[in-house]
């Protein structure tokens, strides 16, 4: 009787330990992904095209609320044009902030939803916008890379 109770307690302890180890590993992975997203967003704000290219998958899909989906090469072409606008002073990016971030991890894939607030001056005109975004991130060669993007303007 006493031995059965000890076995049950040991089994319960092992199950509990396994659960906590999984929860800690998932929290660590979420932290790594959040850090990656921060680097990505800063690279976008600064128009660091080389950095952004290294952080998206080859079959990347990007969709804005006002256009059909575009592939990696088309998005990179847009980024190069945007970089020229920044370098010439036609576009000044004041803010690009992600808030209300929600992450759902699924092993080597994650769905991230958030609110993006932007402020920029284009050709002398101040623009302030807010978007709801959904990003798909995948773990590729032990690094998180963005595989998909969609936004909808809310302001």
Asked if 120 and 111 count as a contact pair (C-beta separation under 8 A), the reply is no
Say how far apart CA 83 and CA 136 lie, in whole Å.
Answer: 24
pLDDT of res. 9: 59
Is residue 117 classed as helix, strand or coil in its secondary structure? Answer: strand
Q: What is the CATH number of the domain that holds 18?
A: 3.10.450.50
The stretch 70-91 carries a mean pLDDT of 97
| Average pLDDT, rounded, for the chain | 89
Q: Is the pLDDT of residue 65 over 90?
A: no
Q: Is the pLDDT of residue 5 over 80?
A: no
Give the chain's domain count: 1
Does residue 145 register a pLDDT over 60?
A: yes
Q: What is the pLDDT of residue 16?
A: 53
Query: What pLDDT digit, counting tens, does each position of 15-49 carry?
Result: 654 554 444 455 699 999 999 999 999 999 999 99
Strand partners, 149: 62, 135
- 9 vs 129: which has the higher pLDDT: 129
Residue 80 has pLDDT above 80, yes or no: yes
Q: Is the pLDDT of residue 139 over 70?
A: yes
Domain range for 146 is 2-153
Q: Which residue has the higher pLDDT, 134 or 10?
A: 134
Give the β-pairing of 109-122 and 91-106. antiparallel
């Amino acid at each position: 009787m006493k031995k059965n109770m000890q076995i049950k307690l040991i089994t319960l302890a092992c199950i509990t330990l396994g659960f906590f180890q999984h929860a800690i590993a998932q929290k660590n992975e979420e932290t790594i992904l959040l850090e990656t997203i921060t680097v990505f967003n800063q690279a976008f704000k600064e128009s660091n095209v080389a950095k952004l290219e290294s952080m998206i998958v080859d079959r990347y899909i990007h969709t804005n609320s006002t256009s059909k989906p575009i592939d990696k090469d088309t998005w990179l072409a847009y980024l190069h044009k945007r970089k020229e606008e920044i370098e010439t002073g036609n576009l000044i990016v004041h803010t690009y902030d992600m808030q209300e971030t929600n992450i759902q991890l699924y092993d080597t894939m994650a769905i991230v939803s958030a609110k993006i607030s932007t402020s920029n001056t284009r050709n002398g005109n101040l623009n302030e916008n807010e978007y709801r975004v959904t990003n798909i991130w995948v773990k590729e060669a032990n690094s998180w890379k963005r595989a998909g993007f969609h936004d909808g303007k809310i302001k």
